[in-house]
Chains A and B, each alone.
Chain A
């Protein structure tokens, strides 16, 4: 057993990481010489975008679990191109008001692939009450 494997198992035993994370780490450690895939190519294997909202431990709150197929996001992006320009500018203005300086008409499928490739696992803690987890699988 290698040193890395032992450390991962220790972290799992101590509860520092979950079973899923341990699996990922073990897979990464067991294939160190595997050819590195480009992030964009890696999205091919990702089928779903998951959004999970859970209350923090010890708090009471609502739970949200959304699974969106990647294909649907790509198809939706193509469909967004058919929005009239007026509607697109209204959406862009609304996004800008919320602090997102994003032009929908310039969003390409490649942008989406890059975003998903880099969005491996993102967890946001909202005011210590809710935990929002966004990841692809």
Chain B
């Protein structure tokens, strides 16, 4: 499932409260998907123009590969904490 929410928590020395952000990443995906759709005709033309020599069909295969990465981001989590109480936490849920 596509991630809907991105959580960011950054805390540093002197900033104990830090930055806590819940970002509805679904909004970003809508923009990304719209851009991908807008670029599709140009990609099709480029693929046809380079079908014999060059990237060709691989350009079209890039779309499902990109979408697969997007859809599998859910559950990705990075949490780094130093002994001085600095912390960077990013997760996609």
**Residues of A at under 8 Å CB distance from B?**
47-48, 55, 60-69, 71-72, 74-76, 78-79, 81-82
Contact = CB atoms under 8 A, between A and B. Distances in A.
Chain B contact patch, size range: 20 to 34
A57 to B, nearest CB: 14
Contacts of A75: 65, 68-69, 71-72
Contacts of B80: 62-65
B32 to A, nearest CB: 15
A74 B68 CA distance: 9
B75 interface: yes
Interface of B: 58, 61-62, 65-66, 68-69, 71-83
A48 B73 CA distance: 11
Contact of B62 (A62, A66, A72, A82): A82
10 contacts: A64-B80, A64-B81, A65-B79, A67-B75, A69-B73, A72-B69, A72-B73, A75-B65, A78-B65, A82-B61
Nearest to B82: A62
Which 8 A-B pairs rank lowest in CB-CB distance, beginning with the nearest? A71-B72, A75-B68, A65-B79, A67-B77, A72-B72, A69-B75, A75-B69, A60-B83
B75 A64 contact: no
